Amino acid sequence: MRKRYLILPLLLSASVAFAGGFNSGEGDKDKVSKETKQNWQHLDLEEDGIPGISANKAYETILKGKTSKKVTVAIIDSGVDIEHEDLKGLIWTNKNEIPDNGKDDDGNGYVDDVHGWNYLGHPNGDNIELENFEITRLYKRYKTDFEGKKPSTAEEKEEYKKFKEYEKAYFDRYKETGKIGESTRKTYAKALEHDAALNEYFKKSDYSKEELEELSTSSAEGRYKKAAKFFLNNRALSYYEWKVNWIKTLYAGYLNVDLNARDVVGDNPEDLKDTVYGNSDVIATGAEHGTHVAGIIGANRSNDLGMKGIADNVEFMVLRCVPDGDERDKDVARAIRYAVDNGAQVMNMSFGKDFASDQKAVEEAIKYAEDKGIILMIAAGNDSRDLEKKDSYPKTIYMDGTRPSNVLYVGASSINFDRELPAIFSNYAQNKVDFFSPGVDIYSTLPDNKYRYMSGTSMATPVAAGAAAVLLSYYPELSGADVVDILKKSVTTHKGKMVRKPNPDRKDKKTVDFAELSQTGGIVNLYEACKLAEQRVKSLSKR
């Protein structure tokens, strides 16, 4: 999972903070109340004027008074804080495993896998924290075989061709990082200078947007006005601080050919048959992303704490295989198979990367899930990219050209029902992304009973996964294929609505029909999905 898939709060959002201490993360509609901002993904366009998925409307009308069945959702991610106040009582438990006895009671090869499994750890409790990009691993692998050597056989020549491709991609990324790093350092230095001036002027560090606006038009000394205008027109100081550290992480981890993170686990990462590895610590380190995802799907809807999830009767199976860096295909394939074998009905996969080393293993695992009728929700990615031109992994289409029937690829939409409806960072593709879902400034759970806004297709995907879980919960007669079909057919379509094509810097002013950005041309709508589910169940009962 590249850092841009682990979206920090509002780093890629249109509503980034204005200055050092300004309270970011509360949406870019100033007139929207705090309550609305914290729950906007649940709202209805017609009734509330907000392009959410109409979850509240579904619960208040169609689902009111109905009984539901618990649905198991696998969170294949960075780990989940299973002790969080808003997730307690919602964690899947392996009833065939006795906790903390150091034995593999159910004989599945995993010791004490009570709530899931951690594929990034060692039995002694150590865990991977920082990993390479996949392109770094591929470059390292092929460099060992081919650097300084000449291929002779046809097979070697074909492999050598791959080596040169990976070598170029790796060094292109390295050079790009250098350019970004230099630019970032210069901008950060300027931001620090402006922030110091504002601290001096306001005699505090938590100045507000309103104070900056007033200062920018006042008769104050020029350097103060210049500083105010800088933060009004640019990102927050905290953003530049994050980006400087991100550049350091790129060099120290993601692009570091000398990093051998897998030594921590102790398995052979190239051997797909080496399947017994990891530990039972599903919280481990870096569980922010997975915890946020879990809360979006199904945080307790009946308490008065932090926030409400989309689904009201779920349990979370936690499968940790996404580090700070790119996930390994071997781990993803194992996690999918574990989820299938242990009864998951929906899998949320909010991760992705530009290259794959074992695409076949992941495809076979997805087909294994497909045969069991299990739904996989996969994030489309945050590169503002047309996936028709360049795919991401896991891919939307199999190597043989067919498309999995159980997979839904999700783009991210914003709270704004205008030209800014698609998130500026979201990937898109008319034939490869199935639909969009709320993914900008989504308020959800974080470890240690905390909450925060985060943005990304990583947030849009669990909104859709929550909707799938609701359908399976209230309409257990439906198959996974039924739910996939219903979610696609019940979207709120916006054909003819002209929007800005996703692009991070907003320099591209070109508008396109929102319907051209995904296969369905719409946004998930739980209310309409429930209506269609009612009809589908009635038709099934007549057969």
The Cα 219–Cα 496 span in angstroms is 46
Q: From its phi and psi, is residue 228 left (phi > 0), alpha (psi between -120 and 50) or beta?
A: alpha
Q: Is 458 one of the catalytic residues? A: yes
Q: Which long-range contacts (CB under 8 A, 24 or more apart) does 139-145 make?
A: 139/166, 139/167, 139/169, 139/170, 139/257, 140/257, 141/270, 141/357, 142/166, 142/167, 143/167, 143/257
Catalytic option among 289, 326, 426, 518: 289
The Cα 456–Cα 381 span in angstroms is 8
SS3 helix, strand, coil % of the chain, rounded to 5? 40, 15, 50
The Cα 289–Cα 295 span in angstroms is 10
SS3 assignment, position 522 = strand
Q: Is 77 one of the catalytic residues? A: yes
- Please tell me what DSSP assigns to residue 164: H
* Interior angle at CA 189, CA 186 and CA 191, nearest 5: 110
In three-state form (DSSP H/G/I as H, E/B as E, the rest C), the secondary structure along 319-372 is EECCCECCCCHHHHHHHHHHHHHCCCCEEEECCCECCCCCHHHHHHHHHHHHHC
Residues 6+ apart with CB under 8 A from 352: 1, 2, 5, 378, 379, 380, 381, 392, 393, 394
Catalytic option among 437, 458, 473, 490: 458
SS3 assignment, position 512 = strand
Catalytic option among 15, 24, 77, 281: 77
Letter string b/e over residues 36-59, b meaning 16 or more CB atoms within 10 A of that residue's CB? bbbbbbbbbbeebebbbbbbbbbb
Provide the sign of the torsion angle of the four alpha carbons 224, 225, 230, 235, taken in this order. Answer: positive
Q: Is 494 one of the catalytic residues? A: no
Of 479, 291, 210, 216, the C-alpha closest to 371 is: 479
Q: Are strands 498-500 and 492-493 parallel, antiparallel or unpaired?
A: unpaired
Q: Are strands 442-446 and 450-454 parallel, antiparallel or unpaired?
A: antiparallel
Centroid of chain to Cα 381: 8
* Residue 348 β-bridge partners: 75, 377
Cis peptide before 447 (omega within 30 of 0): no
Name the one residue in this structure whose structure tokens are 């991977």.
128
The Cα 230–Cα 455 span in angstroms is 24
Provide the sign of the torsion angle of the four alpha carbons 206, 40, 243, 181, taken in this order. Answer: negative
Residues with a known catalytic role: 77, 289, 458
